[in-house]
Amino acid sequence: MYEKKSNIVILADGEFPTHAIPLQALESADAIVCCDGAAGKLCAYGKTPDYIAGDLDSLPDELKTRFAGRLYCVASRETNDLTKAVDFCLQRGAAQLKILGAGGLREDHTIANVSLLADYAAKCHVEMITNYGTFVIISKTSTLESAAGQQVSIFSLTPSAKISSTGLKYPLRRQCLDSWWKGSLNEATGARFTLSFNKGIFIVFRTHAGNYEL
């Protein structure tokens, strides 16, 4: 399925892309896999899903008929529709994924989707792009691109891990981010910043250009 397709987008059923960055990802995608409820939104936008994945309980009958050959139904309640869509892509050889529409509308869904990124990142390169910024997972010392004034938040999934930084307005010095607020609301001072640590998994959020004052 994906032998020649490296730019795979998963569209979740949250806030539909409006910012130029997620819209560009949507427009340039080699293939779009919709979580079932997002298929109608994508059609209303003027594009057609390549595949629709989920338990399909939110997919209208008209779209079930129209896209009958593109459906991937998993009835299990053990995983959400986003995870079903990710698993669908991984089973078909996807090595990198961009997740859109996974934020907004319901905060509990957003938190769950962000935390699930760590599970996905263990299997492929993945980023979650919202209308306000981009989430990535890092599990080793990493240097990330940025811009002066860009807002940066860091959330630890390994509270005992000690992390240090260069290139941030408020430096981290072997700090344990044992509460999610502790690494939030920082700011890049230039074109890149580095996060250094010996162990752990961290979620990093960077705002999009033009959203620095949010």
pLDDT (0 to 100) of residue 57? 82
pLDDT (0 to 100) of residue 214? 42
pLDDT (0 to 100) of residue 59? 86
Contact between 6 and 30 under an 8 Å Cβ cutoff? The reply is yes
Contact between 101 and 11 under an 8 Å Cβ cutoff? The reply is yes
Tokens of 193: 């910043």
State how far the alpha carbon of 195 is from the alpha carbons of 39, 74, 98, 191, in Å: 37, 38, 22, 14
Quote the pTM value. 0.91
Distance, CA of 42 to CA of 196 (rounded, Å): 39
pLDDT (0 to 100) of residue 211? 62
Domain boundaries, the chain: 8-131, 137-207
Q: Which CATH number fits domain 8-131: 3.40.50.10240, 3.90.230.10, 1.20.910.10, 3.20.20.390?
A: 3.40.50.10240
Q: Tens of pLDDT along the chain (214 residues)?
A: 444 467 899 999 999 999 999 999 999 999 999 998 899 999 999 999 999 998 888 888 889 889 899 998 887 777 888 999 999 999 989 999 999 999 887 898 899 899 999 999 999 999 999 999 999 999 999 999 999 999 999 999 999 999 999 999 999 999 999 999 999 999 999 999 999 999 999 999 999 976 644 4
State how far the alpha carbon of 192 is from the alpha carbons of 21, 91, 97, 211, in Å: 19, 34, 23, 17
